Amino acid sequence: MDSSPADDGLDGWPHPDPKTAARMLEEAKRVDARTQELVAQNLQSARSKWKPAVFFTYIATFLLVFTGPLGHLGISDAYAGRLCATLLILPMLMYTLLIQGANHRESASAVIVLKGRKLVSVLFAVLLFAALPTASMLGIAIPWWMCLVTAALIVLPMAASTLAGRRRTGNQVQQSRRAWNLAPLNLRTRLGTLAAALYLGIAIFSLYFSWFALAQFVMSMLMLALVILGASSRGLVKLGAHWRDQEWFAFGLSFFLYQLSMLVAIRTTWDSPVVGVVSAIVVALPMALGALLSKQRS
């Protein structure tokens, strides 16, 4: 059967009929959407592997801080408790805002729904988290190793879920992830990363103030700054959307050193201003170096 000239393209190949063309277009859109979804899963999986470590560090530090006396800081336990609680929550709020930005970049529908076993797991974790501080307030001595074991039990389901997610995504779209990590880090993101590093350094240094009123004022200003940074169009959410694996690793290292510095100040006698300065530098250094030494590659 001869084809009419209207059915042939300029190169001699026949044009598809309108229905076939529409189906091909829909299939192309579906493949593109699936590819974008796999890219998002791959990037999110690569970053979420650090999530259990972040939460373990935070929970363990919280329990180690609040299962013993705090009065040796030179202020009452009540004042010290308020100061330590604020200091502990600051980096976690930063992490939450940064993750929000990264998830928004990768998937507009990245919403966690708690139901079934996941809901039971979270409720169990909350009860376990509250058990040790409550026991400590009732006068029960809590050994340090029990804080670590409790933190591990709380984080275990999260770690298992993260591992399962990484197995599902496998090695898909590795090229896209490499391309993202090699993308240029613009000046605004560098400056934002430096500001975040300075923020953490100042926060940990305030723990070494012997005058509680000044420390509390600094904490209030830092909390206000964090709220402003979170709401700003160029704040932490925007920063998290532009960070690559290198910046996330640097933040994780600074986060760990921040928690360690808190334990040094609260659970040792090394609580002098000199140690405070050293702690501030050590905490800020990984993120600062990550921002300064990051090469802009095409």
Residue 230 lies in a domain: yes
pLDDT in tens, 196-230: 999 899 889 888 776 656 666 777 787 777 777 66
Count of beta carbons in the 10 Å neighbourhood of residue 31: 10
pLDDT in tens, 241-296: 788 888 888 999 999 999 999 898 888 888 788 888 999 999 999 999 988 887 55
Residue 29 lies in a domain: no
Closest CA relative to residue 40, chosen from 156, 180, 234: 180
Residue 35 lies in a domain: no
Task: Note the maximum CA span of the chain.
Answer: 97
- Enter the DSSP assignment of 206: G
Residue 186 lies in a domain: yes
Residue 155 lies in a domain: yes
Dihedral sign (CA 241, 245, 250, 252)? positive
Dihedral sign (CA 86, 90, 92, 96)? positive
Residue 196 lies in a domain: yes
Residue 201 lies in a domain: yes
Residue 6 lies in a domain: no
The alpha carbon of residue 253 and the mean position of all alpha carbons in its chain are separated, in whole angstroms, by: 11
CB 115 within 8 A of CB 217: no
Count of structural domains within the chain: 1
- pTM for the model stands at 0.74
pLDDT in tens, 46-56: 566 778 889 99
Domain span at residue 195 reads: 48-165+178-293
**Residues contacting 197, CB < 8 A, separation 6+:** 254, 283, 284, 285, 286, 287, 288, 291
Distances (CA, A) of 12 to 4, 21, 22, 43: 11, 17, 21, 43
